[in-house]
Structure 1
Amino acid sequence: MGMVLSFVRVTPKQLDQALEDPELAEELAEDEDAASCYLDKAWAGIQFLLDEAEVLVDIYEDGEALDEEATLFGWDPDQVAYAAEAFAEMPADKLAEFFDPKKMSEQEVYPQRHLWGADDRDYLVENYRQLAEFFKESTAKGAGLIRAFSF
């Protein structure tokens, strides 16, 4: 399976409760009926592109840890809105210009031991488009998010 990352939409009240109760945070993150954005293994490649483009959003590190293992992070509505705006200012086609498979392979951007190639560009761009749209929709709803990381 590997290391995968996803976001699940929650209400601000649910997020507040999840900050106090790691078991609830896990339940919310695993809710199959909740709106979500699954990035699979594209998350590290997307983060590479965001860093190269100097977009000040870290999809892995931003937010507040909800559990001791730091596999779940909460993003409050203000953080979601900030990221949504940053993504809107960096459309997918423009972000794709920062795709550098040689540099990504040299830096061992996850998945390590994977040699990035030209065909990976579309995979990252499509996942980024979904991510940007999900953050935009979440902002419109005034929602928070739970970032889930599994390995």
Structure 2
Amino acid sequence: MGMIGTYLRVTDDELARLLDEPDYFEELLEYEERQADIDKAWQGLYFLLTGEADLDDIARHSLGRTIFGGIVIEEETGTTYLTSSEVKDLSTRLQYIERDALESRYDMTRMNEQELYPFERGWGSEEKQYLLEQFEELKTIFSSASQKQEGLITWIG
């Protein structure tokens, strides 16, 4: 199955409760209709959005937060969150990124050298289309949460 970048829309009240009661996450997972994902495209999209392949310093790239979220809720699982205001800001920024601009950042040679997940040394033209399709999904996830004034819980697993 692989490691999939997953998002769960939450209200501000639900997020506040989750921060007070970490076990509440299990209950939130029951809302499958609020979940969406970018499949295994998370590291490739991170690269296209930030120009970086190194995941050790993800905090310095604000657009990278669309992939890895913001503040860590659970260190062991890598679960993070973005508040509704952060989602709104990031959604606006994502909407301004044109497909051609993102496509121009696709550097197959560098991506293969860096062995980015999930294709490691197999990045090619089909994989570029896959990333561009998943970028549209990412924009939809953020737009939907923003329109509903919701935050996002994010995790890769």
TM-score by length of 2: 0.84
- How many equivalent residue pairs? 148
Question: Do the aligned residues in 1 keep the contact of 2:18 with 2:24 (CA within 8 Å)?
Answer: yes
Q: 1:77 to 1:47 in 2, by over 3 A?
A: same
1:28 corresponds in structure 2 to: 28
Question: Do the aligned residues in 2 keep the contact of 1:19 with 1:25 (CA within 8 Å)?
Answer: no
For structure 2, the 5+ residue unaligned runs are 53-60
2:119 & 2:133 partners in 1: Cα distance? 21
1:104 corresponds in structure 2 to: 111
Report matched runs for 1:3-14 at 5 Å: 3-14=3-14
Q: 1:137 to 1:60 in 2, by over 3 A?
A: closer
2:124 corresponds in structure 1 to: 117
The AA in structure 2 aligned to 1:19 is: L
Report matched runs for 1:43-122 at 5 Å: 43-52=42-51, 56-58=62-64, 59-111=66-118, 113-122=120-129
1:42 corresponds in structure 2 to: 41
Q: 123, 126, 148: which is aligned to 2:133? A: 126
Secondary structure in 1 aligned to 2:38? strand
Secondary structure in 2 aligned to 1:119? helix
1:127 & 1:60 partners in 2: Cα distance? 11
- Aligned-pair distance for 1:30? 5.1
Larger relative helix fraction: 2
1:61 & 1:32 partners in 2: Cα distance? 20
1:73 & 1:147 partners in 2: Cα distance? 5
Secondary structure in 1 aligned to 2:69? coil
CA RMSD for the aligned pairs? 1.9
The AA in structure 2 aligned to 1:56 is: S
Question: Do the aligned residues in 1 keep the contact of 2:114 with 2:120 (CA within 8 Å)?
Answer: no
Secondary structure in 1 aligned to 2:125? coil
